[in-house]
Amino acid sequence: MSVSVREALGAFKPAAIAVGIALAAYIAGWVAYEVFFPGTAPVQPIEFSHVIHAGDYQIDCQYCHIYAARSTTAGVPAVEKCMGCHKVIATDKPEIQKLTDYWNSRQAIPWIKVHDLADFVYFPHKRHVQAEVACQTCHGEVQTMARIERVAPLSMKWCVGCHEEREVENGRDCWTCHK
Amino acid sequence: MARKKNPGSKLSRREFLALVGTGTSVMAGAGFLTAKFSRRPVEQLIPYVVPPEDYIPGVAAYYNTVCNLCPAGCGITVRIREGRAKKIEGNPAHPVSQGGTCALGQSGLQVLYNPDRLQTPVTRRGERGTGDFHTVGWNSALTTVASHLDKLRLANRGAGVGLLTGDIRGHLDDLLIQFLGLMGSGRYLQYAFTNPTNLYSANAASFDTAQLPYYDIANSDFLLSFGADFLGMWVSPVSYSRAYGDFRQGRREGEDKGPRRQRGQLVQIEPRMSLTGANADIWVPAVPGTEGALALGIAHIIAGGAGRFAAALAEFDPPRVAEISGVEASTIERLARSFGDAKAPLAIGGGGAAAGTNGVPNLVAINLLNHLAGNIGREGGVVFNPKPAFGRTGMQRHGSYLDLLAFVEEIADVDDGVLIIAGTNPLYDFPGDERLVRALQRIPLVVGLSSFMDETMQYADIVLPVNSYLEGWGDDAPEPGVGMRVASISQPVVAPLYDTMDVGDVFIRLAQRMDRDMQRAMPWPDFHAYLRNAWRRMYDKRRDKLDYVDFDAFWTAVLEAGVWGETRRASQRNEFHAQVDYEPPVHAGNDVDYPWYFQPFVSQGFFDGRGANLPWQQELPDPMTSIVYGSWIELNPRTANELGVDEGDILEVSSPAGSLRAPVWITQGIRPDTVAMPIGQGHTSFGRYATGRGANPLSILSAQVDSRTGAFAWGATRVNLTPTGERIRFVKTGGWSRTLDRQILGPRSGETQEGGDHG
Amino acid sequence: MSLIKDLFTNWSVWRRPGYFESFDYSWGMVIDLDRCTGCEACVVACTAENNLPIVGEKRFSENREIKWIRIERYWSGEYPNAKLSFIPMLCQHCDQAPCEIACPVSATYHNQDGLNTQIYNRCIGTRTCAVYCPYEVRFFNWFSYTWDAPLEQQLNPDVTVREKGVMEKCTFCIQRIREAKDHAKDDGRRRLREGDIQPACAQACPTKAIVFGDRNDPDSQVAQMASDARGYTVLKELNTSPSIVYLRRVDQEHV
């Protein structure tokens, strides 16, 4: 008895098409979520605007992010730091009053992390700041962002790409960045 | 291609499209939701409300302080990240630790972060010893104690108040004396199982100096150690380990370009091979308790029938000593020759040699060897320390076993007696007799100061949680020290985790709640202020000699360096005051019913038992056996054969005082007439990691004491062994215990490795 | 095809002992067995520094303990002439490491500093490397271990806490090497100096039996000590070219 392979396969055709459509739909759904809800610019507990601080008033990044040049972490300013100015400046604005409330109750502001690296990544801000990599290289044009937004993918490919381009010493060794 | 209608299909076109549509949207929804839930959860970025002043987040800070896990007083450096302690290192500037640590010292972090720490004051609810406590506030706990003490004091009955502590040195000791003095009581005793009481006494008798000398092992070239496990946990293990390294190299570390002396040789005399015995060039297994005879036998040969001790030594000829000690006469002669010929011979005694009923005479005999070698005050010999910069010596502070029993019983006999116990756990490392427990039961008020609910705290009425040593203030003048005056300040390296206080603060707060005289006499706001005051007095006394602008500069400098010292050495003449004679050891139990000598030993991981609640120490393989998480009893293969038991068989070990069960470990490193067990396990109440694990060999010891000092003779009990027929499999690291001729330990001496080139 | 050709060329070059001499450092260790007393301070120090888990009694009895450095003990002779010798055993950071050939996903490789390293993210847990390792110093995480609160507050933030399914081993405290390099760069130095780095085991060692340093620097203490007449490498017959040279304990039985 002879069997036609073609015919035998043909029997699966409707099933294959159905699976194909289902898969395409699944991927489309996934992509739709990533496109419409990228989560790269979450709503923060206080509508802090880098446009005003870094853009309009041109306050240096490291005036607030004080550890950037000497530690792994850049440092989110302490509430006390904010109050240093806002005890007197713009105290009538609703967002500043939120800040004052946090300060008065001695509570930290629960900012939502926008630039989040995995825990196994060793990323020293100081190395990059000392190498004169502009903050904007990774954080985007922060001074134009009313709400902070992640622009760079912060993927390993993206990190290594820059290391290669700049010919960073041992920049491709796994243990330079992994811990 | 034209679509053919499937004849078998029952779907209409409409239904088919609906199905496709639903399917597609369900799948799309699934994709959407998978994307949503597979995304990493949102993390928050919590800033400080007020930025920390003393550290930068992400950058480690280092603080110097003092380890108090054993009485050696090593200076340590603690690495702090974001206010949490991460790692303990030796402080390189501290002359005791010189940058090194021991295994137990490394585990100090698990004392600090131990999950079983006492977090609030508690008072007893149920019967004593049942562990039934309930939480109270500091205020009520302190007020209860203070009002009780106040009442006694005002009624002139304060003499019934006693204070029992472990190893408390430095100015805290002074504060406690003062507090008790104000109460009208002189009842203050320190008790630690490992305190070398007999060594103090022997040194007082021999050299008229009741202190621990600094044995200059590094500069010695022949070291005769009688039972002193100085590489294990004896007296000051880190300091002596460092010295041992240099002793073997024939020069100090860092002097790599200098000339080498001869490599130091180590002979260890002990019935059970300790870690030091394993490192010795020759291990001499002598009968337990006969070390004194051996020392006199060696002295006999060195003195050669001449000199002041000729008469006393006359009868200790090699054949007689061989008969007593079980060491061959030829070995004794060989050791004596080597000791006599060495440029810088040194003899030290401790461990089992000091833990018999004849501990003091044994140690005096060993001291005689140092006297004959002209070792006193000499480089590579026995260097006595100058009077400490502050505080009392261990001899003055500590009581013996008999002292402790009398102390507690006396307080029990007083009406309204009060016993305050801080930093010691005598119910664990006391022999199995019930006298101490009975006395404790009779005391109306027992107050405990501790970080853990240990065996002794179970009998307290009120337990006040104290800071761990990494959270509080203190100071220390280490003993034995290094032949010079050394002092260090212990500073908090992290903020207290819980609602706890320094021991000193507890007493200052108590005084503040008592009547006006008490308040006036102890006016300091806290112990830190008291400590600064005390150091200010020290500074004022030496102001001219010290090169600091003012006291604050001095204080800061000591805190930063972690140590302060003076280079002046004590002068000690080589005079020997004692009579030497050999006193045979007395063992509890006759040799028919109890055929084996029983030698408990201080274990590397747990010291006197205080390390047993640290998981790192529980999981640290014992250096000699690689066993973890349990107890064992060491047997010579001949003994095991005799009993017909194998590794892991459980034995019933019975002494005149009690019995316990322990699995057999067969080792070549023990005499056939001796069995040995590690101290440290067998806790009945010491947190989740220690409680109910293994057996405590001290619990079956008879209450034997040293004939001169009344110190607990924990090496003077005999036991009988009975196989139970049960067995366990040891939890230990795997691997072979023999090299099987592979060159793991290197090519045999004289050969070079095949191929020759290395490195 | 050039990719495969490249791979083969690099393979042979990178596996030649001493290839890293053209790089800045070649970290190595000398362990003097005449100083080592077997006290195990190094073992706890390593546990504390590298976030090694407490596996518990049951799992320890199943030989699932994780100890990047351990003390091996070898008995010889019989009572009363019994002798016990200790040797600290840790990853030898072999120049010709058998584990590196074994890994199907290249999760273990030699880096430019002469370190045999393990990439946890890449490891898929075949455990082949552990089988190939003659020193038995690779450890597999059979479980994700936890710490009883608040013990986790001690964990070193510079070292990953490994999860179930990955292999791990001694890194020569690479986090300390990285930190030291960071500090050197902060100070404007390109090279590290002798003594800038001490792994946890070497730092804790009370007898200073463990010496760590750069074998590429002929003046370094490791380079000098490695040429000692007592020097040898363990299991030399396997041609693994270890980075750790042991100095044999001196036998001195004639007292």
CB atoms within 10 A of CB C183: 13
CB contact under 8 A, B49 and A79: yes
8-state DSSP, B588: B
The token pair at B733 is: 């690291």
Specify if C85 maps to a domain: yes
User: Is residue B342 predicted with pLDDT exceeding 80?
Assistant: yes
Amino acid at position A48, single letter: F
For tokens 């990044």, name the residue: A61
Specify if C53 maps to a domain: yes
pLDDT values of chain A reduced to their tens digit, one per residue, 179 residues? 566 777 777 778 888 888 898 899 999 999 998 888 888 888 999 999 999 999 999 999 999 999 999 999 999 999 999 999 999 999 999 999 999 999 999 999 999 999 999 999 999 999 999 999 999 999 999 999 999 999 999 999 999 999 999 988 888 889 999 98
The 10s digit of each residue's pLDDT in C199-241 is 999 999 999 999 999 998 999 999 999 998 899 999 999 999 9
Q: Chain A to chain B, count of Cβ pairs less than 8 Å apart?
A: 110
Residue window 57-96, chain B: list those with CB within 8 Å of chain A.
57-59
Determine the CATH number of domain B596-727.
2.40.40.20
Which residues lie across from C71 on neighbouring strands?
C88
Cβ atoms of B469 and B455 within 8 Å: the answer is no
The 10s digit of each residue's pLDDT in A36-51 is 888 888 899 999 999 9
Q: What are the structural domain ranges in chain B?
A: 61-112, 122-194+390-568, 197-382, 596-727
State the total domains in chain C.
Answer: 1
Considering only CB atoms, C236 lies closest to which of B86, B248, B753, namely B753
Separation in Å, CA of B18 to nearest CA in chain C? 44
Q: Which domain holds residue C191?
A: 14-247
CA distances from B651 to B608, B640, B643 (A): 23, 11, 10
Average pLDDT value for chain B: 92
Run of H or E including B345: strand B345-349
Could you write out the three-class secondary structure of B598-647? EEEEEECCCECCCCCCCHHHHCCCCCCCCECCCCCEEECHHHHHHHCCCC
Residue window 135-194, chain C: list those with CB within 8 Å of chain B.
136, 148-151, 153-157
Residues contacting B188, CB < 8 A, separation 6+ = B162, B163, B165, B176, B177, B180
Q: What angle do CA B643, B644, B649 make, to 5 degrees?
A: 95
The token pair at B302 is: 């060195």
Q: What are the structural domain ranges in chain A?
A: 5-36
Specify if C202 maps to a domain: yes
Please give the Cα distance from B353 to B714 (Å, whole number): 11
Which pLDDT score is estimated for B19?
Answer: 85
Specify if C5 maps to a domain: no
Considering only CB atoms, C112 lies closest to which of A173, A178, A179, namely A173
| Residue B259, Cβ density class (10 Å: 0-12 exposed, 13-18 middle, ≥19 buried) | exposed
Please give the Cα distance from B430 to B714 (Å, whole number): 9
Domain with residues B197-382, CATH architecture: 3-Layer(aba) Sandwich (3.40)
For tokens 């290289």, name the residue: A137
Which residues lie across from C244 on neighbouring strands?
C29
Chain C residues with CB under 8 Å of A70 CB are: 186
Specify if C180 maps to a domain: yes
3-state DSSP assignment of residue B563: coil
User: Is residue B15 predicted with pLDDT exceeding 90?
Assistant: no
Q: What is the mean pLDDT of residues B268-282?
A: 96
Q: What angle do CA B183, B189, B191 make, to 5 degrees?
A: 150
The 10s digit of each residue's pLDDT in B647-703 is 999 999 999 999 999 999 999 999 999 999 999 999 999 999 999 999 999 999 999
Which pLDDT score is estimated for B394?
Answer: 85
Which residues lie across from C117 on neighbouring strands?
C109
Please give the Cα distance from B744 to A119 (Å, whole number): 39
Fold observed for domain B122-194+390-568: Rossmann fold (3.40.50)
Question: Do strands B462-465 and B445-450 pair parallel, antiparallel, or not at all (unpaired)?
Answer: parallel
DSSP states of B433-483: -SHHHHHHHH-SEEEEEESS--TTGGG-SEEEEB--TTTS-EEE--SSTTS
**C88: closest chain B residue by CA:** B745
Amino acid at position C225, single letter: M
Instruction: Among C27, C93, C111, C173, pick the best mutation site for testing chain A contact (most A Cβ within 10 A).
Output: C111
Cβ atoms of B201 and B179 within 8 Å: the answer is no
Q: Print burial letters for C21-36: b (CB count within 10 Å at least 16), e (below 16).
A: eeebbbbbbbbbbbbb
**C155 touching A (Cβ < 8 Å):** no
Q: Residues B61-112: name the CATH superfamily.
A: ADC-like domains (2.20.25.90)
User: Is residue B251 predicted with pLDDT exceeding 50?
Assistant: yes
Please give the Cα distance from B71 to B192 (Å, whole number): 9
8-state DSSP, C44: H
Q: Chain B to chain C, count of Cβ pairs less than 8 Å apart?
A: 257
Run of H or E including C102: helix C98-102
Which pLDDT score is estimated for B481?
Answer: 83
Chain C residues with CB under 8 Å of A170 CB are: 111-112
The residue length of chain B stands at 759
The 10s digit of each residue's pLDDT in B67-111 is 999 999 999 999 999 999 999 999 999 999 999 999 999 999 999
Among the listed residues A125, B88, A75, B55, the one whose alpha carbon sits nearest the alpha carbon of residue C182 = A125
Interface chains of chain B (3 or more CB pairs under 8 Å): A, C
CB contact under 8 A, C182 and A124: yes
Which pLDDT score is estimated for B279?
Answer: 96
Specify if C8 maps to a domain: no
The token pair at C188 is: 């404007």
CATH of residue C70's domain is: 3.30.70.20
User: Is residue B757 predicted with pLDDT exceeding 50?
Assistant: no
3-state DSSP assignment of residue B231: coil
Q: pLDDT category, B753, cuts 50, 70, 90?
A: low
CB atoms within 10 A of CB C154: 18
Phi and psi, residue B307, nearest 5°: 85, 180
Among the listed residues C221, C172, C168, the one whose alpha carbon sits nearest the alpha carbon of residue C198 = C172
Residues contacting B601, CB < 8 A, separation 6+ = B229, B272, B274, B351, B352, B676, B677, B678, B679
Q: What is the ipTM of this complex?
A: 0.93
